[in-house]
Every structure is written in structure tokens, then in C-alpha cells.
Amino acid sequence: MHVPPIASSSRYRKQVGTAKTTEASKKRRKNGEQGEFVCVDCGRDFTTKFNLEYHMRSHTDDRPFKCPEPGCQSCFRSKSDCSRHYAKVHNKKAL
Ligand SMILES: [Zn+2]
Ligand SMILES: [Zn+2]
């Protein structure tokens, strides 16, 4: 009953890469707290309605203000959020 550690870990990695990924992450979550607010789009659960609503925005793509910095993927729901990010992260004057 001696299994080399390298062989067992590579086998585990293979399993994680399959469609079982979401199931596995759900199980992992169970020993912690399970949120009662579940996202209808991706099945993620959240402990508060606020967190769920915040998460839902990532699905609805409700962020029309995109950071003008080349290569930056950040988008924002309001122009003030966007310029705050622009000034803070890129160290530039607000738009
Ligand atoms: Zn979701
Ligand atoms: Zn940016």
C-alpha cells in the first residue's frame, strides 16, 4: 500500500480538470458555511443578499464605463467609480 506522492497528486489534478470541478468546489464549501442566496446563473452561493446582488452584476455586465488605460480590463457602473480607479490605480488625473 505504498503510493508515491507524485503519482497520486497528478491523478488528483486530472480529476479536478473535468466537469466535476463545480461539484468539487461546492463540496469544499460545505465544511465552511453554506450561503442561502444562490446565483441562478452559475450556482454560487452567498451568505447575504447583498453579496449575491453584487455578484450578479458580473453576469449582467452592467458596467458601461471602461477604464481608458490600454490593457486594463476594469469596468465600472459609474463614471465616478471609473475616474477614482483611474486616479488611484494608474496614478493619473481623473478623466
Ligand atoms: Zn453567478
Ligand atoms: Zn484601469
**Cα dist from 74 to 6, 52, 68, 79, 86, whole Å:** 39, 20, 9, 12, 10
**Nearest ligand to the C-alpha atom of residue 55:** 1
pLDDT tens readout for residues 53-69: 888 877 776 778 889 99
**Nearest ligand to the C-alpha atom of residue 95:** 2
What pLDDT is stored for residue 18 in this prediction? 46
Ligand 1 center from residue 38 Cα (angstroms): 8
pTM for the model: 0.38
Ligand 2 center from residue 58 Cα (angstroms): 17
1-5, 10-14, 41-45, 89-93: which has the minimum mean pLDDT?
A: 10-14
Ligand 2 center from residue 55 Cα (angstroms): 20
In 3D, which of 62, 60, 22, 24 has the Cα closest to residue 44? 22
| Those residues with Cβ within 8 angstroms of residue 51's Cβ, 6 or more apart along the chain or in another chain | 35, 37
Percent of the chain topping pLDDT 90: 32
Cell matching residue 78: 459609474
Ligand 2 center from residue 39 Cα (angstroms): 27
Confidence of residue 3 (pLDDT cuts 50, 70, 90): low
Around ion ligand 1, residues with a beta carbon closer than 5 Å are: 39, 41-42
